Chain A
Amino acid sequence: MTINDFSPKRYYKLVLPTVGLLALIKLTAWVCGAGFDKLGKGLLQGISFVKIMFPPDWSAFPEMLEPALQSIAIAFIATVLGTLLAVVFAIAAASNLTNPIIRNITRFLIGLERSLPEIIILLILIAGYGLGVFSGIVALSLGCVGMLGKLLGDIIEEIDHTMIESLEAVGANKLQVIWFGVIPQIVPNLVSLALFRFEINIRLSIILGAVGAGGIGYELDTSFGLLQFHRGLTAVLVILVMVVGAEQLSHFIRNKIKLKGALK
């Protein structure tokens, strides 16, 4: 096929998708109310706004420490409790440990959780339990269960079935098989995934905070809402430090595990 070949096949393969894509972009841009002229004007406005935000209001810095700590605590506790719960769900979702009915029910629940963004879970919980830390932690823990439950379940399913059979051959019962055969093999992956989830939870705790789960996200949202932009910038900087810190910590520990050769 040469460059000058305008056969129908080439037409269908190349021209139609391109035209379709352009039309789709045009349509979706119209639905969103997007446009490059609007973007140009908006960007100028945005840049001048960012200029207004400077310099950060350092006097508000001490007030930020407590909410920041609270956000970290929320993410931490949600990760710990969520991971513990996720292990239970992962075991129930692994085909080599449980019977098909329980497995499918668990997989369905995990899938249901995964299809709901954490913030919507938070909205539902807030409607039930009211604003506050409790709803935030539960929402983050559930997110943790959804993500780790699926990944860990898949990891457990990769464990050799005959290995489990050999433990049963010495007369071990189900709990003993899980405790001595399964847990030692998934611990490195479990720690690594939990750390990864901790990074995500730190980010999410900020967003959830803005809706009313407490912490630094709430400070940020109210500062912007009250047009205290210098104070808002301080919150932004604190958040950046938190996010980068969590990321570096998680990288550091994960590299340590990797050096020991534990991760697949």
Chain B
Amino acid sequence: MNEQLILPSAKYKHKVGYLGISLFVVVAVCIYLKYNPFLIFADFTPIQRLLGEMLPPNFSVLWQPTIGKAIAQTGSAAFLATFYGCLIAFVLAFLTAANTMPLRFIRLLVGGFLSLLRIVPPLVCILIFIIAVGLGAFSGMLALIVITVGMFGRLFTDIIENTEHSAADAIYSVGASRLQVIRYAILPQIIPSFIANCLYAFDVNIRVAISLGIFGGGGIGYALYMAMQVLHYQDAFALICLIIIMILLIEKTSDYFRTMILGKEKLR
């Protein structure tokens, strides 16, 4: 026998101990929140009632011009936010990456700014922008830009910092300036993953755009929220179907192009 060996009975006691403590914590939190996790399995009546009210979906609502406009607004907000957000994130990433920005002071400053954008909750963003530019798709778009920059700024920085240093060294060695190195050594390496991430950003942004719409960002999210509020559940169900189809379509297209750009194995 050796001292490394842990007998199964000791292991069992350990396991039971940990399990007991975790179970206690979970049950305590459940009691604190007055939450019964089994309710959803035990009591189907609310869902049954809801389904009864939702079916059949009223698809005629989708032909109303307001819905068409709402879809256009959501799509536009997501597209513009992706475009400007990725552009800003791209520029800021060069200012934070250690191999493109020599000044430590600026690196820290811009890096801190990116971190701040990342931790600001989307809800706070949209509330502030609604006060700044009023209700509507524009404020939703501005909030989305902030979220996009926060999410992808750090990612782009990592991508830039992970480029091959040998290529940059080779170009430095022929006497090129820092900007020339960026143009000829770093840009070619990061462009594919940048474009792929932009597509991914659009995919994410369309979902966030729908969510933010509920808080006054306009678009299809707001239309759904309104239908729910006035208890037009059949209209709401049609809108939900529309949203699912929209998101799935965009996800598949985005996946397709990303696979085309990056090759299958690199898809995140």
A residues in contact (CB < 8 Å) with B = 24-25, 27-29, 31-34, 38-39, 41-43, 45-46, 49-50, 70, 73-74, 76-77, 80-81, 111-112, 115-120, 123-124, 126-129, 133-134, 137-138, 203, 206-207, 210-211, 217, 220-221, 224, 232, 236, 239-240, 243-244, 247
Contacts and interface: CB of A to CB of B under 8 A. Distances in A.
A220 B124 contact: yes
Given A31-B72, A124-B240, A39 B142 contact: yes
A22 to B, nearest CB: 11
Interface string B119-137: 1111110011101111011
B82 to A, nearest CB: 10
Interface stretch (B45-53, B160-168, B179-187): B45-53
B124 A239 contact: yes
B211 A207 contact: yes
Contact of A128 (B36, B50, B80, B83): B50
Contacts of B119: 240, 243-244, 247
Contacts of B134: 42
B132 A43 contact: yes
Nearest to B49: A128
Interface string B205-237: 001101100110000010011001000010010
Interface of B: 26, 29-30, 32-37, 39-40, 46-47, 49-50, 69, 72-73, 75-77, 79-80, 83, 119-124, 127-129, 131-134, 136-138, 141-142, 207-208, 210-211, 214-215, 221, 224-225, 228, 233, 236, 240, 243-244, 247-248, 251
B121 A115 contact: no
A34 B50 CA distance: 38
Given A46-B132, A244-B119, A32 B37 contact: no
A73 B73 contact: no
A210 B29 CA distance: 21
A39 B138 CA distance: 9
Contacts of B138: 32-34, 38
Contacts of B124: 220, 236, 239
A25 B80 contact: yes
Given A25-B80, A127-B50, A127-B233, A210 B247 contact: no
Nearest to A242: B121
27 contacts: A25-B80, A27-B76, A28-B75, A32-B138, A34-B80, A38-B133, A42-B142, A45-B133, A73-B32, A74-B33, A77-B33, A77-B37, A115-B244, A116-B244, A119-B221, A120-B243, A123-B225, A127-B228, A127-B236, A128-B46, A128-B49, A134-B39, A207-B121, A207-B122, A207-B211, A236-B121, A244-B119
Contacts of B248: 111, 115
A15 to B, nearest CB: 19
A129 B46 contact: yes
Q: 6 closest pairs, A vs B, by CB? A: A46-B132, A28-B76, A42-B133, A128-B46, A31-B76, A32-B137
Contacts of B33: 70, 73-74, 77, 133, 137
Contacts of A27: 76
B81 to A, nearest CB: 9
Contacts of A32: 73, 76-77, 80, 136-138, 141
Contact of A24 (B72, B79, B132, B244): B79
B207 A49 contact: no
Contact of A77 (B30, B129, B131, B136): B30
Contacts of B215: 210
A45 B131 contact: yes
A28 B210 contact: no
Nearest to A43: B132
A125 to B, nearest CB: 9
B47 to A, nearest CB: 5
Contact of B132 (A49, A112, A138): A49
Contacts of B29: 73, 76-77
Contacts of B77: 28, 32
Contacts of A77: 26, 29-30, 33, 35, 37
B231 to A, nearest CB: 8
Contacts of A116: 240, 243-244, 247
Contacts of A119: 210-211, 214, 221
Contacts of B251: 115
Given A28-B79, A128-B49, A39 B133 contact: yes
